[in-house]
Amino acid sequence: MEGPLVNAVVDDETCEEDGVPNQMQEETEDYFQDPTSILLTDIDPIPTERFPEYVRDMLYGEEHKLKEEFSALGKLPQPPSTVAVLPHNKAHNRFNNIYPYNRSRVCLKATPGVDSCDYINASLIDGYGGRKNAYIAAQGPVDVSVERFWRMVWEYETPTILMLTQCTEAGKVKCVQYWPEKLHDSLSVGEKFRVTFSSNMPFAEYEFRKFKLENLSESESKHMTVSHLHYTAWPDHGVPDNVMSLIAFIRHVRKLHPVSHQQPLLVHCSAGVGRTGTLILLDIIMQQMKTEGTISVLHWLRNLRMQRMKMVQSQQQYEFIHCGLSELVVCGETEVGAANLRIALKNLKKKGPVGFTGFQRQMQIIEEVSSHHPVTFSDAEEEYNRNKNRFPDKLPKMTLIV
């Protein structure tokens, strides 16, 4: 039984996360040769233990250096993306200002008898340590690109898809539902592929689905299993309220799809640049932290933007990455598997060299991290709401108020 595809509106819409109008790029060999740009000056990696102090200075200092850095990123010249705007490819773009560069776009195999069918709005992205094509950063499929999306998964043998958007947000279609509606249903995609919804396991902030992708055009039908991890805690506008939940999500992904995996990790949101770029950048820097004990946010984001435009699309996302990495440095990995909970609790009860238990030390860390993230309580503090608060210093956060 086939599941329905949700209609998407494309045409002249621009990506709403930044609202920057499209600018056609001229063919030029000197894409990144501006010698005055701070982005071309290699900045020394920052030791992880110094990173929280660095973030406080960059974010809360008088000079607002993070804001300057992000603003400078927008001035980088862009390589050409002329293939994306060819007449026969325009319908495959969700937004009219987000395109893959010619040199890093995903090229699909030609289909005999079908002209101009190699285009999809997706880019190959290199990973940590110079690993080529470690990721595919893609827009959320539109109606006409669903077949090409699954063809990309098949041709690049991509076993894992990360989805960072809801299909519909605030009444607007952000991504066509490209899988069957119901568990165990199948969806025919074009003439070659069939997708079967094999299993679904919900977690607190993401869903873990498995699909069976079949290629029906082969003499003997072949298939592959695709894991689909759908992160659902990213709000329509802004960033996740809890950065550690996103970091935990990335860790879970890497248990399923290790860094050593030869096939690329496919990541998409709606436009394939904002949320997608944020997750990919966090993943790369988490690998750098583990291997080198250093952090180089600007260096890696510059590399990402050389491969796909507008990766990490807003200043809010840029600050979120810095604050998240700072919190990761301070807190470390605190997730405990259920099987190890008893041992973890026993260790937390022990006193350390300075006389504090693990519980007390964790509470100190929570207080330290919280002090660096100002919280807005404006509605709760209004005159007409004050008599509803039992304690004036215990108020609901503005973004979470019921």
Distances (CA, A) of 42 to 72, 216, 292, 297, 304: 14, 50, 17, 11, 15
55: enclosing H helix or E strand: helix 51-60
Cα–Cα distance for residue pair 357/316, rounded to 1 Å? 36
DSSP structural state of residue 142: P
User: Of 361, 396, 5, 395, which Cα lies nearest the Cα of 176?
Assistant: 5
Angle of helix 315-331 versus helix 358-371 axis, rounded to 10: 160
| Active-site entry in 15, 167, 175, 269 | 269
Q: Which residues contact 225 (CB under 8 A, 6 or more apart)?
A: 159, 198, 210, 211, 212, 213
Q: What is the DSSP string of 3-30?
A: PPPPP---TTPPPTTT-PPP-PPPP-S-
**Distance between CA 401 and CA 34 in Å, rounded?**
47
User: Rounded to whole angstroms, how far apart are CA atoms 129 and 193?
Assistant: 35
- The position carrying tokens 């007449």 is 87
Residues 6+ apart with CB under 8 A from 210: 198, 199, 200, 225, 226, 227, 228
Q: Please give, one letter per residue, the 3-state secondary structure of 280-307.
A: HHHHHHHHHHHHHCEECHHHHHHHHHCC
DSSP-derived pairing of the beta strands 222-231 and 160-163: parallel
Asked if 13 and 96 count as a contact pair (C-beta separation under 8 A), the reply is yes
Is 15 noted as a catalytic residue in this protein?
A: no
* Residues acting as catalytic residues: 269
